[in-house]
């Protein structure tokens, strides 16, 4: 089947590439000429494990193409995905300008029936708005479907190709059939395609992200209690996570959730609630707690240095909001950097993939190092902000020699308390006993 994907950012590129991999002819459209040029020339624009190989295969075999021309891109497409940004507007609600602009442009360009799919995360009622916009210029029949995306960065290909479920919001039988055909190769494992109405599908996406953010935040609060009560959050996590009603995943305490989605989606759902005069109290607490959690180690660092960080050098391991991505949107590391610099410290950082993005955002305010050990060389302390595998089993002898003080502030609980005690480090982590080396 011929499909089109409008917006070739993270979700658009994964969607287009994966649907090409399942035998469809996919045309991806983006207004960013530089991006389109790069993709046309076989140069992938995001770091996502496993994506490059299928991107190259489908590009070279002619199933995947890129253009800046919407008319050319949607020509003959039975399904048109909108994978456009929905960033927070000034008041925190999702900004629909990109989605509605493309909807408006699409109307007059349709010359046969097509299904237009909201793949972006959009508030309840957006399918209706998109339908109205397309209808302004359309001369042919069309349907608008909500099909939210649940992929995680870093494991996006697997999440897309073997989804736990596919949610499709539509009341049109014709659209349902086409969507079912498209997704059949991806749900062979018996995972369900769940059909529902458009509004419920739209809300499902916000409910899923907000629930996961709440789950993490709940554990972060338990971690804070553990510190006050002398309990160990890792033990508590195992204890509660083995209850199948709770589940083991997304229970890891740390320095808060970040990324391009949880922060913005929790905020957007809270805003949607406000708009219908509903006081969604849990979400307000989740946002509040996460705000504090992101930088909760900075006061501990200050305390260690008797309240004065002037002239101290802090090494940071990990800049991306989580491992296996170069995405730094709302990354806790950046908030820590900001506070450390404000307190007069210098920062030396290393990240396997995200340094270029950080450099583009904050310039040379910090020192970027070639590897993990150069970052700690002559630093006064180490702060671990992202759990990249390369940080999991460092050479602790080397660390002891390179660091001026044997002290680690660990925002991701990478090391065991036993090894830290044995090695004589001062070790401050999340929701666990402080080890005084
Ligand atoms: N990044 C992620 O992991 C996930 C994101 N989502 C949702 O998917 C949507 C897209 O997110 P990302 O892919 O991360 O965004 P992104 O910002 O990486 O990509 C959006 C792309 O749309 C393009 N664009 C903007 N206006 C356009 C227009 N008029 N015509 C054609 N292209 C245009 C931009 O140039 C950009 O390449 C958002 O609603 C997001 O919440 C959902 C699940 C996962
Ligand atoms: O809508 C989206 O964009 C996506 O948002 C998240 O995916 P993603 O942002 O890629 O990353 P996650 O793996 O969910 O991690 C988000 C944040 O939570 C943190 N986290 C995650 C899990 C955990 O146990 N503890 C924890 O602090 C991570 O470090 C990270 O900062 C969701 O998991 C996806 O299902 C969804 O499609």
Q: Is 393 annotated as a binding residue?
A: no
Q: What is the pLDDT of residue 72?
A: 98
Average predicted confidence (pLDDT) for the chain: 97
pLDDT band at residue 323 under the 50/70/90 scheme: very high
Reported confidence tier of residue 413, pLDDT bands at 50, 70, 90: very high
Q: Quick: pLDDT tens for 421-430.
A: 999 999 999 9
CB atoms inside a 10 Å sphere around CB 336: 25
Out of 5, 7, 212, mutate this one to test ligand 1's pocket (max ligand atoms within 8 Å of CB): namely 7
**Residue nearest atom 37 of ligand 2, based on CA coordinates:** 150
Q: Using 50, 70 and 90 to split pLDDT, how confident is the model at 3?
A: very high
Cβ pair 186, 166 in contact under 8 A? yes
Averaged pLDDT, 41-66: 96
Q: Give residue-wise pLDDT tens across range 54-101.
A: 999 999 999 999 999 999 999 999 999 999 999 999 898 999 999 999
Tell me the two tokens of residue 418.
Answer: 């036993």
pLDDT class for 121, splitting at 50, 70, 90?
very high
**190 has a pLDDT exceeding 80:** no
Cα–Cα distance list, 248 to 25, 219, 243 (Å) = 39, 12, 8
pLDDT exceeds cutoff 90 at 49: yes
* Residue 159 annotated as lining a ligand binding site: no
pLDDT at 187 over 90: no
* Predicted local confidence at residue 254, as pLDDT: 98
Asked whether the predicted pLDDT for residue 188 surpasses 80, the reply is no
- What does the alpha-carbon distance between residue 402 and residue 164 come to, in Å, rounded to a whole number? 45
pLDDT of residue 134: 98
Quote ipTM for the complex: 0.98
**What letters, b where the CB count within 10 A reaches 16 and e where it falls short, cover 403-425?**
bebbbbbbbbbbbebeebeebeb
Give the Cα separation of 374 and 296 in Å (integer).
25
Residue 429 CA, ligand 1 centroid: distance in Å: 35
Give CA–CA dist 147/130, Å, rounded: 13
Q: Which atom of ligand 2 is nearest to the CA of 213?
A: 18
HEC string for 73-103: HHCCCCEEEECCCCCECCCCCECCHHHHHHH
Instruction: Decide: 435 in ligand 1 pocket, CB within 6 A.
Output: no
Q: What separation in Å is there between the alpha carbon of 253 and the centre of ligand 1?
A: 29
Indicate the Cα dihedral angle 25, 163, 152, 219, nearest 10°. 170
Does the pLDDT at position 11 exceed 90?
Answer: yes
pLDDT for position 196: 98
Token pair of 408 as six digits: 């680690």
Residue 404 neighbours by CB under 8 Å, 6+ apart: 378, 379, 380
Q: How confident is the model at residue 292 (pLDDT cuts 50, 70, 90)?
A: very high
Phi and psi angles of residue 316, each rounded to the nearest 5 degrees, phi first: -120, 125
The rounded Cα 398 to chain-centroid distance in angstroms is: 33
Residue 160 sits at the vertex; the CA angle it makes with 37 and 328, to the nearest 5 degrees, is 60
Domains and CATH numbers, the chain: 2-196 (3.40.50.720), 205-293 (1.10.1040.10), 295-428 (3.40.50.720)
Residue 403 annotated as lining a ligand binding site? no
Closest CA to 119 of 272, 10, 273: 10
Output the ligand 2 site: residues, CB below 6 A: 121, 149-153, 209, 212, 216, 250-252, 254, 257-259, 261-262, 321-322
Handedness of CA 49, 50, 54, 57 (dihedral sign): positive
Q: Give the distance (Å) from ligand 2 centre to CA of residue 302.
A: 29
Catalytic residue positions? 261
Q: What are phi and psi of 137, to 5 degrees?
A: -115, -5
Look at the block and give the residue holding tokens 């498209």. Answer: 182
Which helix (H) or strand (E) covers residue 168, if one does? strand 166-169
Q: What is the pTM of this model?
A: 0.95
Contact 343, 276 (CB under 8 A): no
């Amino acid at each position: 089947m011929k499909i089109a994907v409008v917006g070739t950012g993270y979700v658009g590129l994964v969607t287009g590439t994966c649907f090409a991999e399942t035998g469809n002819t996919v045309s991806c459209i983006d207004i960013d000429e530089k991006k389109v040029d790069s993709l046309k020339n076989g140069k992938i624009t995001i770091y996502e494990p496993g994506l490059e190989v299928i991107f190259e295969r489908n590009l070279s075999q002619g199933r995947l193409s890129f253009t800046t021309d919407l008319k050319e891109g949607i020509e003959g497409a039975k399904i048109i995905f909108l994978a456009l940004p929905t960033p927070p507007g000034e008041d925190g609600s999702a900004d629909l300008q990109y989605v509605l602009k493309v909807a408006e442009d699409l109307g007059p360009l349709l010359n046969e029936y097509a299904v237009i799919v909201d793949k972006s995360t959009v508030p309840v009622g957006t399918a209706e708005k998109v339908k109205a916009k397309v209808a302004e210029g359309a001369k042919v029949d069309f349907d608008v479907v909500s099909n939210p995306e649940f992929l995680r960065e870093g494991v996006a290909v697997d999440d897309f190709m073997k989804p736990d479920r596919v949610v499709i919001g539509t009341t049109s039988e014709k659209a349902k059939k086409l969507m079912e055909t498209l997704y059949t190769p991806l749900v062979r494992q018996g995972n369900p395609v769940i059909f529902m109405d458009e509004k419920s599908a739209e809300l499902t996406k916000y409910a899923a992200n907000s629930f996961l953010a709440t789950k993490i935040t709940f554990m972060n609060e338990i971690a804070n209690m553990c510190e006050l009560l002398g309990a160990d959050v890792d033990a508590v996590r195992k204890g509660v996570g083995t209850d199948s009603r709770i589940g083991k995943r997304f229970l890891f305490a740390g320095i808060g959730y970040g990324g391009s989605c949880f922060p913005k989606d929790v905020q957007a759902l809270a805003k949607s609630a406000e708009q219908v005069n509903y006081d969604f109290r849990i979400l307000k607490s989740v946002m509040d707690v996460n705000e504090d959690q992101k930088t909760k180690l900075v006061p501990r660092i200050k305390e260690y240095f008797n309240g004065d960080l002037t002239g101290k050098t802090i090494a940071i391991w990990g800049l991306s909001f989580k491992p296996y991505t170069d995405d730094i949107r709302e990354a806790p590391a950046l908030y820590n950097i900001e506070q450390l610099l404000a307190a007069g410290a210098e920062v030396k950082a290393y990240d396997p993939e995200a340094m270029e993005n950080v450099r583009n955002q904050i310039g040379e305010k910090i020192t970027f190092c070639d590897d993990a050990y150069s970052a700690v060389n002559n630093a006064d302390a180490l702060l671990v902000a992202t759990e990249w595998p390369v940080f999991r089993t460092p050479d602790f002898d080397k660390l002891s020699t390179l660091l001026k003080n044997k002290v680690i502030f660990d925002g991701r609980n990478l090391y065991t308390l036993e090894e830290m005690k044995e090695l004589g480090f001062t070790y401050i982590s999340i929701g666990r006993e402080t080890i005084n080396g």
